[in-house]
Structure formats: C-alpha cells, structure tokens
Amino acid sequence: MRKTEYLAEGTYRIPASAYGLLEPSCIVADFDADGKLTVWCASQTPYLLRNAISRCTGIPGHKIRIIQTDIAGGFGRNFELMPYEIIAILLAKNSGRPVKLAYTMEEEFASSPVRQSMVIKMATGCNREGLLSVVKCEVTLDSGAYTSSAFATPQFMLLGIASLYKIPNIYFRCRSVYTNNPPAGVFWGFGNTQGLFALEQQIDELAKKIGIDPVTFRTINLVKAGTTTPQDVKISSCGLRECIERATQKISIDRRKTQWEGVGIACGIHVGGGARVHRSDGGGAIVSIDDFGGVTIITGATETGTGTTTSIAIIASRELGIPIEKIKVLNADTDMGIWDTGNFAARTTFVVGNAVLEACKKLKLKLCEHASELMGCSSETIELRNGNAVCIDNPEKCIPLDRIVRNAHLRCGGTIFTEYAYYDPPSQALSKEMLGNISATYSFSTHAVRVKVDPLTGKVKILKFVAVYDVGKVIDRKNLDSLVSGAINQGLGYALTEKLEFDKGKIVTRGFNDYHVMKASQMPEEIEIHYIETEDSLGPHGAKGASEIAIVPVPAAVANAIADAIGRRITSLPITPRKILEAIKWG
C-alpha cells in the first residue's frame, strides 16, 4: 500500500436486514399408513431439504417427499432447513395426524435468519494514470448464534472486489464471528452487494483525487471477455463497457445539476452460470412430446416467482419449433426424481435451461429422423417450425409433429418421443485460498441514479433510476423486467430505509409497521431498464443468470449520488435523513 500513488480508505458499516416477505413461513407435514412423510413447504432447495430432514430425523430419504408450494418471494429465506420444519414433522409423527405450522408476521420477523451485518475496512490504490493497483479489505461478519449458510458470504463478496476491475494485488481477510444475534442466512446478492457498497464508493473517491471523472475511471479499469482475474475467475463474456455507456447516456450524466442534486453510478458482477457452493451444481430434465403435439418438461427446478418456468418453456419452444401454449413444465415434487441443487445464485435458467436444451436437441433429432421417412427427404434438410416438420429445400413438404408421433406409436416396433439430459456446469469450488472459477459465466450491470436532497429535512427524492444489465441473451423480457423492478425496490430500501433493531440478541422489529421497506410512493419518478445482449457460448441460447446481479449495485449507486449532492460521504447503511443532516452540518 505504501507504494501506491493515490489511496482511498474507509470503514463501512452495514446492519442486518430482513427478507421482508409478504408470505410468512408455513409447512404441512403428514405421514401415510406406510410411514412415508410428505412435506408441503416453500423450499428453494427441495432435494437438499429432503436430505437434511433425513439426517435430522432418521427417516430414510426414499420415504420423504417434498412438494414445493407456490412461493411469494424467496430471496434466500427458504434456502435451508429451519427448526420449525423439524418441529412440525416430529409433531406429525408422534400425533399420527397431519400438522400445519404457520408463522404470524411478527413471528416471521422474530424467528427468520437475517441478511448478515458486517464491518468492512477497505483501502484501494491506483497510479497517476488511474490504473488500479491494489485493494486491501478486512471484513468482520456477524454470523449470529449458528453458522448457517452464511459461511459462503465471503466467497461472493470477494468475487465483486477481485473480479469487477483489473486489480493485480488483492488482500482479503474475513472473520466470521459468533454472537448472540439471530443466525445470518443466504440473502439476495449474497455478500456482493455489501462488498461493492464499499469498493464502488472508493472508486469514486480515487477518480476525484486524480481528476478523472468516475465514468472514465471505471472504463479504463474494466475486466473484459477472455480475462482471468487474480481469483482465477474466467470471464467468458462481458458487456460491462456498453452497460456503463448506456447508463450514463440515459441518466444524462453531463446535464447541469441544480443545487442539492446529485448523480451516482455503480457497477456490479455476479455469478451467471450457477455457483459451485455444493459438490453438485447440476440439474436434469426429461422432455416428451405426445401424439397431440404437446410437450411435457419434467425438471427438479424450483420456481420462486422469478419466471424460470416460463424461461424453460421458451427455450424448449425455440428449439422444437412448438408454440409455447402447447408446452407444460412440471416440477416442485421430489417424487418426480429429477435431481436439482435448487433455486439460488441465479442458476436455474442457465443450468436447467441447458439441460432442457440438450434434451430438446436429442428429441429434435429423433423427430427429424422419423419425419424423413414420411417426407422422403434427408433429416439434415428438415427443420421444426410452428408445430410442423418442414423440408427446407421444398417447404410444401410439411408434416405436423403430432402425425409423426402417432405414426411412431401406431406400428409394430414403434417408439415414444422422450429424451433426458443432465447438465453440470464447468465450474470449480473455491480452494482454501479462495481461488477458483466458481461459476461457468458471469453477469454484469451498471446502475445510474439521479437524486435530490432536501437540506432542511435530509430526505432523498429519487428523480430517475437507470439499470442496465449484461445477462446474455434475454429469454423472457416481461418477467425479467418484473424481477429487476423488484430488485430496485428492495435495493433502495436496503440503501435508505431498512434496518432491524435488536435488544440483547432478540429482534424487536415486529413487522412492516416498524420495518420500513420502500413504498410505491417512494419509488423513483422514472425507472428505465435496459439490456446489453451479449451472447455467452455456454448459456442456453446465449443466456446468463439474471436474478442475483439485479440488486447488487443499487446501494452503491445511491450512496455515490447522495455524496455528489451533499459533498460528503456516508459510509453506513441505511442512509437516513438524520445521517444526511449530520453530514451537511459537519461538511
């Protein structure tokens, strides 16, 4: 650090926050006459949950069935086994009756895991040309009374710090501390949001010190496609430069600002091709077509309201040339036997989408081979289009797919049209030194925000928010826009209003009356969402995972905008009116 020419240093304090789900936790457990357990719950990882229940209760795994109910938001809350689930199962076993256990909203706040609180001490250096040279980061994490899954938080925090920009020298030390607070769990953005809250503010500080605008400073330090970072992260595709250009253009960054108005930007990186935090990161799929031309897809995927079921159907529709209304996707039941690690780390569209795509390719080949017999042309010259097999050389030769299937069914030595595939991405678990390519590919984003600060009250009005993403080829724009809008809402709450209150290890925040999520009336006057559609060679139809990256840069962008407006930095969350007034007073 001594040799660096310019240095930014700071301590960043980030409190615990709640998931804020509209749906409190609930489980139904029932044993049949043969002693088989069926559990209905909103798990994001049904197959992992089955294994955990088996280990805790001694019930053999083959006698446990998990049926995932509709989930009104996940965000990591339903990632792992929780005590109330074991309580319900044991009550059902000992009573011989079905048992339902449901939290009130007050119980949900009091008993749920939390987003991990932490203190980040960071120093970032660059030379006089603006090239980053070093980052030193020391983090203290509050794990609560039990480790839970928060052990993996540092893995994703380091990803953002070490792989968003070209930084040759990185020191990262993280201590996870047991306290009498509630356990910290898996939470949307998973450490990356917190780490980049610190780094992206220091990027702005360094740019100011050397007299380079923050946009140019970021641009000259960006990672690029083909880069291998010091953490051994391999960047297969990257549209981050274009994200920055689009975001700064749409926010009108050069437009003259009024007094107490500020503009901030922040960038982000997150896993976009699964994340090997378990030994397996794979998922399977079975695809069948019936004699009416309908397609059934069976997966172990978990739908949490992000639209992954629709994305899977769209991938199959494009590959098989079958209208999406003739495709149904079945999942959410471990008795279907299609292994999948679960819904987390933006993995489902990428991992399960690749499995579905591979199964569809096999099915397509089989359909074309049978169509060639009926049409009298080579299978290589046949394509599937609008539910038909069409000869490319002679488009008048056309046979509906349902006819092809019935022909194969209704003859001696016939066959069915069912194919399966399993996809496990080419990624690595991190070593003890935190090195390795944890994801097959990575998604990127740039957020730009324009704010107006009231110097008398300290209140922040968000005038405009621009979010630009590189998530590869967009599969389902409508659902993705909805997901991103939710991420912006939750990210703004994390930045400005949300904080859990504790008293001697107990959460005293009892519900939404005293836990202040962003209301519709507080949302930006104008929100723009844009996509830079790179094509990742590893993704299904070029797609990458989108859900995690959606929230990552929000708090940092807001913090940079407020600093631009008031001329002082606030390095703790949430950035409340009181903190702003104090900063103005002492500025």
Residue 361 burial (10 A CB sphere; 0-12, 13-18, 19+): middle
Give the integer Cα–Cα distance in Å for 147 and 476.
36
Task: Write the DSSP string, 27-76.
Answer: EEEEE-TT--EEEEE--S-HHHHHHHHHHHH---GGGEEEEEPP-S--TT
- Predicted pLDDT of residue 1: 66
200-231 pLDDT, tens digit each: 999 999 999 999 999 999 999 999 999 999 99
Residue whose structure tokens are 């994200």: 243
- Predicted pLDDT of residue 2: 66
Residue whose structure tokens are 């011989």: 96
**How far is CA 88 from each of CA 40, 56, 66, rounded to the nearest angstrom?**
11, 13, 14
4 pLDDT more than 90 = no
- Mean pLDDT for the stretch of residues 175-200: 92
Q: Is 375 helix (H, G, I), strand (E, B) or coil?
A: helix
CB 28 within 8 A of CB 39: yes
* DSSP H or E run through 373: helix 348-375
* CA diameter of the chain: 88
Give the integer Cα–Cα distance in Å for 449 and 253.
9
Give the integer Cα–Cα distance in Å for 299 and 420.
10
Cα first-last separation, the chain: 28
- Predicted pLDDT of residue 153: 86
- Mean pLDDT for the stretch of residues 17-22: 89
Confidence of residue 79 (pLDDT cuts 50, 70, 90): confident
199 pLDDT more than 70 = yes
Closest CA to 436 of 237, 271, 231, 281: 231
CB 441 within 8 A of CB 273: yes
CB 468 within 8 A of CB 445: yes
Confidence of residue 293 (pLDDT cuts 50, 70, 90): very high
402-434 pLDDT, tens digit each: 999 999 998 888 899 999 999 999 999 999 888
Closest CA to 467 of 345, 573, 567, 558: 558
- Predicted pLDDT of residue 564: 97
Residue ranges and CATH numbers for the domains of the chain are: 6-16+114-275+430-586 (3.30.365.10), 26-111 (3.30.365.10), 283-423 (3.30.365.10)
Confidence of residue 151 (pLDDT cuts 50, 70, 90): confident
Tell me, yes or no, if the pTM score tops 0.85: yes
CB 264 within 8 A of CB 448: yes
CB 450 within 8 A of CB 561: yes
Give the integer Cα–Cα distance in Å for 419 and 359.
5
Q: Is 327 helix (H, G, I), strand (E, B) or coil?
A: strand
Confidence of residue 516 (pLDDT cuts 50, 70, 90): very high
Average pLDDT over all residues of the chain: 93
Provide the residue type at 138 as one letter.
E
- Predicted pLDDT of residue 509: 92
Residues 6+ apart with CB under 8 A from 165: 132, 203, 218, 221, 222, 223
376 pLDDT more than 80 = yes
Give the integer Cα–Cα distance in Å for 483 and 75.
11
Q: Is the dihedral of CA 491, 342, 82, 95 positive or negative?
A: positive
Q: Is 481 helix (H, G, I), strand (E, B) or coil?
A: helix
150 pLDDT more than 80 = no
Provide the residue type at 114 as one letter.
V
Closest CA to 232 of 430, 424, 444: 430
User: Apex CA 544: angle with CA 550 and CA 298, to 5°?
Assistant: 105
SS (H, E, C) 206-261: HHHHHCCCHHHHHHHHECCCCCECCCCCECCCCCHHHHHHHHHHHCCCCCCCCCCE
Backbone dihedral angles phi then psi of residue 385, each to the nearest 5 degrees = -150, 125
Which residues are paired to 39 by β-bridges? 29, 66
- Predicted pLDDT of residue 306: 82
Which residues are paired to 68 by β-bridges? 41
Give the integer Cα–Cα distance in Å for 376 and 372.
5
* DSSP H or E run through 170: strand 169-178
Give the integer Cα–Cα distance in Å for 578 and 173.
32
Strands (E), 376-499: 382-385, 388-391, 398-400, 417-423, 442-453, 460-470
Question: Where does residue 73 fall: left (phi above 0), alpha (psi -120 to 50 degrees), or beta otherwise?
Answer: left
**52-56, 63-67, 77-81, 86-90 — which is least confidently predicted?**
77-81
Give the integer Cα–Cα distance in Å for 114 and 109.
9
400 pLDDT more than 80 = yes
Cis check: omega of the bond before 574, within 30 degrees of 0: yes
Tokens encoding 416: 């069915």
Which residues are paired to 282 by β-bridges? none
